[in-house]
Structure 1
């Protein structure tokens, strides 16, 4: 009797595992086996991306411009938002937003711009929305100029938790993937958002489309600097400050004098070590593969150092000055911290 009971429990356990595995397989895709909503292909599988024209200020967007049917939703849907948005391409169409929960790794819906692409945008004296201009500068700061070295050992697996993708359910009977919304206007693609916020859309705008706003003329920017380039300028100012202390302060304790002497290079009029004080002095690092993660002002891209406006006089950009001041203060704090440690050891 015990043997029969054991056999019967064993069968139930095997059956349980069988149904659990079947359920996992059936949920591996969204309803109706729909494609990843982040894909740039339309519902027929044809790619909708296009190569950018060389004469265009901004390359064509790789995002899909195809309306999705309601059967294309992936994952579990959240309740619809009560907020009414107007469709940028036709403001007579109203939409509500809803979220589609997806379990695969997200793919950016925005087109990829290289560091060189973004620099070319900022070099031109084009008229664009201030929001677009700020977006270019922000992307350039993190465009991936530094190729950090990967670990030599071990394998890192990408973990892709569930995330929510915003969609629009509109009065024209179609569903669209939402790229951005601004002042009650919904944009389906990055290209559409840019055109609405650029000077070229002023003449093209009509009562049925969204009006452009906050247009500014970009002063052509130039002399693009990496983090190490900004640090090199900071080191020159630090050199002048330290040499002045060494030459004019006769009461400077010997231990502090030895330390300050060890970090200045009087032949080159700068500090020793291209990444000092973040890393050791007297050593030049391969800056093509080193990130200064200990800095709160580290950026993995470029910042424009100068801009030239209508009067033709180059001036330092606000963003460069912001980065310079932040790095300078950070370096002063690190050097002063070492001087305080020397004082503590002398007591």
Structure 2
């Protein structure tokens, strides 16, 4: 089904504070993932695969890398005369300020929303990579007759997000009866995935009313107190997902992609994940190199030993180097005699000859962008 009657709104900065190291020079949406992708690729591709042809990205800060990655939206077929990809930076209006919550962000584009023709709005964050079928989600929302549909997964609340999460309580029909903010309970909960579907005109009315009352957060300040008035429906996502909430989760979720079954679930052939195309040469493997159970992106040069690693574009592992259990981002250079174990390097890091860096499974060591060690 082609959902041309829905537009998408993506928030790239919502969970930046959870991974301050990774977002020092970028947004959560542009955090590299899986060898060649960015986190926003999964949300944006999901919307495009559902037939959503009008997508707005509301940026907050550090959005240069995001704009460089998205460009005109050509890779997602979003270069269009009407709709397409629209990136809204902060201070888009003379009276605007950097937003704190979704309501403030939406209020900054309320006039833009009023000019659109689509009936429904799909709102999403970018801290979760998944194969969410947005077409099924919108269909379920329409059939339920609900004012709002919120996507959740059945999962335990990880310790780092006990102060930054939403959970739901629902009745037997799936109607949300309570929204909890910063839930710290143990065990499996109905944990929000940050995706909401609702009527565009209803959203505009809610945002205008909330702005007058200085309410900033959509779930906490608007939907939560209005559950007896609004029909808020839950939509369970039970597929594969990668939720990023700290360096360890980032490392773990990349490592999980070394399992072919997980790759097949996150990247189904019927709903491809699109990303920016870079014309890199194929991987060059030297005669004496050793590579075992790795994801190696285009442009890499492998001369040493690599095991259980995710290597992004343009990584060089020199002869005599041993790299194990690592995530090395674009442009990382590992010189001869280096030993790395449980290391995450950001872009353009150089590990000079004969250095030995070691983390462990519970505490992978992060090396900042452009660092020479």
TM-score (norm 1): 0.23
Which structure has more relative contact order (CA 8 Å, sep 6+)? It is 1
Using the size of structure 2 for normalisation, the TM-score is 0.22
Q: Larger radius of gyration, structure 1 or 2?
A: 1
Which of the two has greater helix per residue? 1
